[in-house]
Amino acid sequence: MKLTDFFDTYEDYSELIEPKAVALAKEYRLVTKQVKQQFKYIATIKDEYLQHFMLRWFQLGTLYQRLLDIRKELKKIKFSYMLAQVQFKKKDPKEFKPLAIEQAKQIKVETILDEITKRVFHNTYLCPLHNEKSGSLKVYRNNNTWYCFGCCKGGSVIDLVMKHYDMSLSDAVTWLVGGLG
C-alpha cells in the first residue's frame, strides 16, 4: 500500500450518518496532514542530526499506523452501514430484476476481498470464511471467480457476499449493486 493512496480517500465519509465515522474521517484528514508535514520536515533534516532524524521517523511511523487503523475502522463502519441499509430496506420481489445479477457480477471479487480480508499475494487472500493464517483463497481474474482450497468454497462475487454476510441472493445483489455499483 502506497502512502499516497491514503491522502485523497475517505473524503466522503462525512455523508455517513454515524457520528463515529464522521469523527474518524475528520481525524483521518488531520493525521494525513500531519504525515505530510512530517515528511516535508524530515526532508529538510541534515545528516549530522541523526538522532533527531530517527525520532521524526518514529513519530511518522506512529502517525502512519494511526492512518491504517482509522482506515480499517472506517471500512468496518462503511460495510456495516451498507449492510444495515440493505437489511432495513423492504424489498418488493417483483423489483428484483435479472439484470441486477449481471450488474452485480461486474463488481470484481477482489474489490470485495480487499474490504473484508487481507491480500497475501497478488491473487491470494486469507479466506474470510474460515480461520487461517496462510492464504488459501485464490481469485481467478479471467472469469471473476474465487475458490478457497481450505474450506472448499467458491463461486462468483455474489456467492462471496452471500456466504460472508449470510445474505440471501436478493440481498447480496441489492447490496452489491446499490452499495458498490
Binding residues for Zn ion, rule: CB under 5 A, are 127, 129-130, 148, 150-151
DSSP letter for each residue of 70-94: HHHHHHHHHHHHHHHHHHHS---GG
Q: Which is nearer to Zn ion, 70 or 113 (CB)?
A: 113
Q: What are phi and psi of 108, to 5 degrees?
A: -70, 135
Q: Which is nearer to Zn ion, 150 or 179 (CB)?
A: 150
Instruction: State in angstroms the smallest separation of the CB of 63 from Zn ion.
Output: 35
Instruction: State in angstroms the smallest separation of the CB of 57 from Zn ion.
Output: 38
Radius of gyration for the alpha carbons in the chain, expressed in angstroms and rounded: 20
Q: Which is nearer to Zn ion, 129 or 180 (CB)?
A: 129
3-class secondary-structure state, position 121: strand
Q: Which is nearer to Zn ion, 33 or 130 (CB)?
A: 130
Instruction: State in angstroms the smallest separation of the CB of 78 from Zn ion.
Output: 24
Angstrom distances, CA of residue 6 to CA of 35, 55, 69, 74, 125: 11, 23, 12, 12, 21
Instruction: State in angstroms the smallest separation of the CB of 93 from Zn ion.
Output: 31
Instruction: State in angstroms the smallest separation of the CB of 75 from Zn ion.
Output: 21
Q: Which is nearer to Zn ion, 74 or 127 (CB)?
A: 127
Alpha-carbon gap, residue 177 to 181, rounded angstroms: 4
Which residues face 155 on adjacent strands?
146
